[in-house]
Chain A
Amino acid sequence: AQKVTQAQTEISVVEKEDVTLDCVYETRDTTYYLFWYKQPPSGELVFLIRRNSFDEQNEISGRYSWNFQKSTSSFNFTITASQVVDSAVYFCALSEVSQGGSEKLVFGKGTKLTVNP
């Protein structure tokens, strides 16, 4: 079965620091998709990024960047110059396709990021 591990339970940084959230996954699929979602204190899940297994290019979106390393089964997320509004729980997720063809997301346990002023 697929598995996503986010070893960092909680991280606390001071505003303007860079912070990297780690994600390691396990899958037997050759084609798969990886995601990051943000859950702010209000509770909703906000989609941040999707990456497919064939695209190992790193991606940058403003202060956010993602490093996908297939060789180490990692999909890490870096926030540059963190801000208080970045405080949230961040979930890494892996898509899993069953034999019947249905698809679901397998989530990691999340990393709670606190950015202090």
Chain B
Amino acid sequence: EPEVTQTPSHQVTQMGQEVILRCVPISNHLYFYWYRQILGQKVEFLVSFYNNEISEKSEIFDDQFSVERPDGSNFTLKIRSTKLEDSAMYFCASKKLTGYSEAFFGQGTRLTVV
């Protein structure tokens, strides 16, 4: 069964460093998302991406964040200068169509900023 895959599963980085979280969405899906879950809290929307551009971004998604689909298969989230409060589980999701189709989530990347 097709699935969304994320790498790495766990990343530890020093404050101020840049990190890139990688995702391979399901191949025939058109809509891509990043969500974040701070430990013990709810899952929060960061950004949606369609047709090679950002469709919507949340207040969390400030200038330190960027997304890219560099080669038509990978979908990356870059955090330019990590802060302690960026420590969270980051989920990539993809969906085939808008509306009635469900979003499939990857297994998440746990980012720890020290």
Contacts and interface: CB of A to CB of B under 8 A. Distances in A.
Interface in B46-96: 48, 50, 55-56, 89, 91
Nearest to B47: A104
| Residues of B contacting A: mostly | strand
A82 B56 CA distance: 39
Residues of A contacting B: mostly: strand
Given A50-B102, A98-B56, A104-B33, 16 more contacts: A33-B100, A35-B102, A42-B107, A45-B108, A46-B105, A47-B103, A47-B104, A50-B100, A93-B43, A102-B56, A103-B31, A103-B48, A104-B45, A104-B56, A105-B45, A108-B42
Nearest to B101: A50
Interface residues of A, number: 27
Interface string A35-65: 1010000111111001010000000000000
B44 interface: yes
Contact of A47 (B43, B48, B105, B108): B105
A100 B104 CA distance: 22
Interface of B: 31, 33, 35, 41-45, 48, 50, 55-56, 89, 91, 98-108, 110
Nearest to B107: A44
Contacts of B108: 43-45
A33 B114 CA distance: 38
Interface of A: 33, 35, 37, 42-47, 50, 52, 91, 93, 95, 97-98, 100-110
A110 B42 contact: yes
15 contacts: A33-B100, A42-B107, A44-B106, A44-B107, A45-B91, A47-B105, A50-B100, A95-B99, A98-B56, A103-B48, A104-B33, A105-B35, A105-B43, A106-B45, A107-B44
A14 B40 CA distance: 23
B110 A43 contact: yes
A94 to B, nearest CB: 11
3 nearest interchain CB pairs?
A102-B55, A45-B105, A102-B56
A52 B43 CA distance: 21
Contacts of B33: 104
